[in-house]
Amino acid sequence: MYETIIIGGGPAAVAAGVYAARKQIKTALFAQQIGGQSVVSDSIENWIGEEVISGPELAIKLKKHLESQKDSIDLFVGVNVDVVNKNEDGTFEVVAGDEKYQTKTVIVCSGGRHRRLGVPGEAEFEGKGVAFCATCDAPFYRDKDVAVVGGGNSGLEAVMDLLAYVNKVYVIARKPEGGLRGDPITQEEVLSSDKVEVIYESNASAVIGETMVTGLKYKKNDSDEEHEVAVSGVFVEIGSVPNSELVSEFTDTDDWNNIEVDFKTQETSCPGIFAAGDVTNAIYRQNNIAVGDAIKALLSAHEYIKKEIGDGE
Ligand SMILES: Cc1cc2nc3c(=O)[nH]c(=O)nc-3n(C[C@H](O)[C@H](O)[C@H](O)COP(=O)(O)OP(=O)(O)OC[C@H]3O[C@@H](n4cnc5c(N)ncnc54)[C@H](O)[C@@H]3O)c2cc1C
């Protein structure tokens, strides 16, 4: 019986793992991989303590810090948690592949994943012109025409990444002219570029191609008529969805499936389950915030173990 099982491999999970080791709580941590979402970033300039660090460098540092605690916690890196079950006595069963682990508490730090368009061709051409990371894939589109779907902050950031390489970027934005989101400086840079054409009040309706993407179809918000732009790449930047499915059956979630937490303690509506980082209804999605919230979650789990369950055996 573990005292806590941490699920995730981003900054939140790593912070919870390091604090669990310091508290000498009997802990297991399961992570598909270590690093989190910003691993794809070339330059992170707000990770406190580093003026600038790349995503891969940050991932290496997180991994090293976590591994330095491996005498105190069990690390299952490269292992996906498939199911979390609630036991009748208030403890939990965590299932990973064929193995089952028992635990008094769970700290969910499973973060988020890209939201998908859900249109024909998107899945078929993933990796063949449909991309979810402009920072990673922009160099493959040198001198090509591409489309970015999404007029929010991440969409505009993607355009900025692409401008250095591509010939032209079509931005498919739902909002009317003047309604792009994103910080003003980025908006100004995007809108002033003669390589950018924003197609307002529109939704992507299909990705087309043969072996590789050749175009994107879209519809205006108020019409069923399909239009088309000829592009070699389609970058999908319409936000993220939380990886909350593991526990959403027994924790409250908001309208977007984020796990609702008490912001003082990171407790969920299910006693014994705590959550932190991008999987929660936290207002701000940032590395440093994920770390701070995860530390709160771990300390709260520690209190819970002492108060609610005692030594448990
Ligand atoms: C391109 C990009 C750039 C960014 N740049 C910045 C930046 O410059 N500064 C900043 O502060 N923030 C930045 N962010 C936001 C930041 O990355 C997130 O806020 C942060 O990663 C959230 O951390 P997390 O630990 O909650 O979740 P995540 O980083 O999403 O990590 C979750 C981890 O859990 C693992 N996991 C999920 N489900 C399971 C499971 N069932 N079993 C095992 N493991 C599982 C995943 O593989 C993943 O490694 C950026 C985000 C993106 C997408």
Q: Probe ligand 1: pick from 37, 54, 85, max atoms within 8 Å of CB?
A: 37
Selected from 3.40.50.2300, 3.40.50.720, 3.40.1380.10, 3.50.50.60, the CATH number assigned to the domain covering 116-236 reads: 3.50.50.60
Q: How many residues does the chain have?
A: 313
CA of 102 to the centre of ligand 1 (A): 26
Contacts of 169 (CB under 8 A, 6+ apart): 145, 146, 147, 148, 159, 162, 163, 193, 195, 196, 197
Q: Are 278 and 285 in contact (CB under 8 A)?
A: yes
| 177 CA distance to ligand 1 middle (Å) | 31
Question: In the structure, what pLDDT confidence band is assigned to residue 312 with cuts at 50, 70 and 90?
Answer: very low
Strand duo 92-96 + 83-86: pairing: antiparallel
Q: What is the pLDDT of residues 197-248, one digit of tens each?
A: 999 999 999 999 999 999 999 999 999 999 999 999 999 999 889 999 999 9
Cα–Cα distances in angstroms (integers) from residue 21 to residues 68, 193, 250, 252, in the given order: 10, 50, 27, 29
DSSP percent split of the chain into helix, strand, coil, nearest 5:
25, 30, 45
Q: Is the pTM of this model over 0.75?
A: yes
CATH 3.30.379.10 is right for the domain spanning 2-113+240-308: no
Query: Which tokens belong to 160?
Result: 């900025």
From the alpha carbon of 246, which atom of ligand 1 is closest? 41
CA 45/CA 50 separation, integer angstroms? 7
**Which part of the chain is CATH 3.50.50.60?**
2-113+240-308, 116-236
Cα–Cα distance, 247 to 304 (Å, whole number): 18
Q: What local confidence, expressed as pLDDT, does residue 181 receive?
A: 81
